[in-house]
Chains A and B, each alone.
Chain A
Amino acid sequence: MNTLNIDIKSKAFTTADKHTVTVIEDLQFKLSNNEFVCIIGPSGCGKTSLLNIIAGLDKRFSGSVSLSEAGTQFKTSYIFQNPRLLPWRTVLENIQLASNEQANNDTKIIQLLQRLGLADSLNSYPHHLSLGMQRRVALARGFYRESDILLMDEPLVSLDPPTARKARTLLIELWQQQARNVLFVTHDLDEAIELADRLIFISSSPSHVVADIKVDIARGERSAKNIEQFKQQLSSQRTDIAHLM
């Protein structure tokens, strides 16, 4: 089984006035068996720093991120807060470019885009799409690429509630079809409970893991009522993390 080990001893940066700020300290957790894990923490606690470290964008930290079986090299997909599509490439080209396969399977991309309601926008340029559509393209790009881990940095923030709800359903559908480890950063606990197998609560900076909680509601039964009940149960049992909820 491929387990992703995340063990960050410390991540610090120097501010403009020469102060050293530690954002992450002794943060460890594991991801395996194609889990969907949500990271919850106060704003400014270094969640994006964490994702950047895992994605290999930030190499200035002490510690390690590694996959148990394949050594240190593993493939990531990263869905950012902004869509970050190449404006000079069409929807189809954007998705093709991000996958590392030599021969792209266009039928597979088209099927994926159809599911996301983008069948008519295959050859459109991102500028001609709404933000919501661009986000769905970014989602398709992240899922089409075969990766060991899919990182998501609040990809649904600032979408209106009905669109966000639809996007969550889609996200879970895609993930169930193309199972893989997912690390989803959010500050919305309801969203996290609806999506995750496990919730990881992170303290404010210098951040570390304060709670690792399994969401034991069956996937078909995550209604607003059940989510609310789970939340109340959690806050009564774990008073230590009440301030993070």
Chain B
Amino acid sequence: MMNTTPRLPFLQPLLSLSLLIIIWQVLASTLNTVVLPSPLLVFDALIAALSSGELQHHLGITLYRLAISFFIAMLLGTAIGVALGRHQKTNAFFDSWLVILLNIPALVTIILCYIWFGLIETAAIFAVVVNKLPNVIVTIREGARNLDEELLEMAEAYQFGPLKTLSQVILPQLYPYIMASARTGLALIWKIVLVVELLGRSDGMGYQIHLFFQLFDITSIMAYTVSFIIIIQLIEMMVLQPLDKKSQRWK
């Protein structure tokens, strides 16, 4: 394969992002309408929201919900995925449940959770987990099906025991699948968290964006969105990519 990585690793994404902002600026000034504020206005709104402390408050709450539901969904999903991937009969029995869960619209589960459990935090988290869980299960199940039987036999012959087999033999093989579902999970979960907040919470990004919508404050909506995109990018760069590198060093 050709090596296409530029000499400065940050140069290319920086150029591409600048181009996006320039297009945005040009569009905003030619259209000159309130529904598309210019990048500068959005930036000002962002600074204002930051200095009032409102942005941090709502962003923090949303990130907190995101983190909790992310970890619950990943943990449960990995456990169930491994169980289904390793036991054909269990999988055959529960497969239809999974198909149903995968196909219920997010909005339906959210509304049902609020109706059944009330407009409480647990209902919000539960709704997000239920939405993400089937995706994790499907991905991890695929990984569990492809486990190397020879290595599993080796672990058994050398009497590794369940804990050591899990940590030394099974999880390293599932790692690419776990990373894939973590990446898609992050993207999916934050979108669902916002809907959950919009429908039944009185704080968080979703609630704020709903408020701005009613006030027709498009600049603030965009400012909040930009701040969130920055956070997600930071998580990708500071957490996910280093994790990837660390786990791939044996290849």
Contact = CB atoms under 8 A, between A and B. Distances in A.
Interface stretch (A2-10, A34-42, A73-81): A73-81
Interface stretch (B103-111, B132-140, B148-156, B209-217): B148-156
A57 B156 contact: yes
Contacts of B168: 86, 89, 97
Nearest to B158: A98
A148 to B, nearest CB: 12
Contacts of A56: 156-157
Interface of B: 150-151, 153-154, 156-160, 164, 168-169, 172, 247, 250-251
A55 interface: yes
A78 B250 contact: no
A78 B157 contact: yes
A82 B154 CA distance: 10
B157 A76 contact: yes
| A interface: dominant SS | loop
A84 B250 contact: no
Interface residues of A, number: 23
B119 to A, nearest CB: 46
20 contacts: A55-B156, A55-B157, A56-B156, A56-B157, A57-B156, A57-B157, A76-B157, A78-B154, A82-B150, A84-B153, A86-B151, A86-B169, A86-B172, A88-B172, A88-B250, A89-B250, A100-B159, A127-B250, A127-B251, A151-B157
Nearest to A84: B154
Contacts of A75: 159
Interface of A: 52, 55-57, 75-78, 80, 82, 84, 86-89, 97-98, 100, 125, 127, 141, 145, 151
A52 B154 CA distance: 10
A177 B180 CA distance: 48
A76 B155 CA distance: 11
B158 A145 contact: yes
B167 to A, nearest CB: 10
A125 B250 contact: yes
A51 to B, nearest CB: 9
A84 B154 CA distance: 7
Nearest to A78: B157
Contacts of B172: 86, 88
Contacts of A145: 158
Contacts of B250: 87-89, 125, 127
B153 A57 contact: yes
A86 B175 CA distance: 14
Nearest to A93: B168
A89 to B, nearest CB: 7
Contacts of A82: 150
Nearest to B151: A84
A86 B152 CA distance: 10
Contacts of B153: 52, 57, 80, 84
Given A89-B250, A145-B158, 16 more contacts: A55-B157, A57-B157, A76-B158, A77-B157, A80-B150, A80-B154, A84-B153, A86-B168, A89-B168, A97-B158, A97-B160, A97-B168, A98-B158, A100-B159, A125-B250, A127-B251
A89 B167 CA distance: 12
A33 to B, nearest CB: 23
Nearest to A51: B157
Nearest to A99: B158
A245 to B, nearest CB: 30
Contacts of B159: 75-76, 100
A78 B251 contact: no
Contacts of A55: 156-157
A125 B164 CA distance: 19
Contacts of A84: 150-151, 153-154
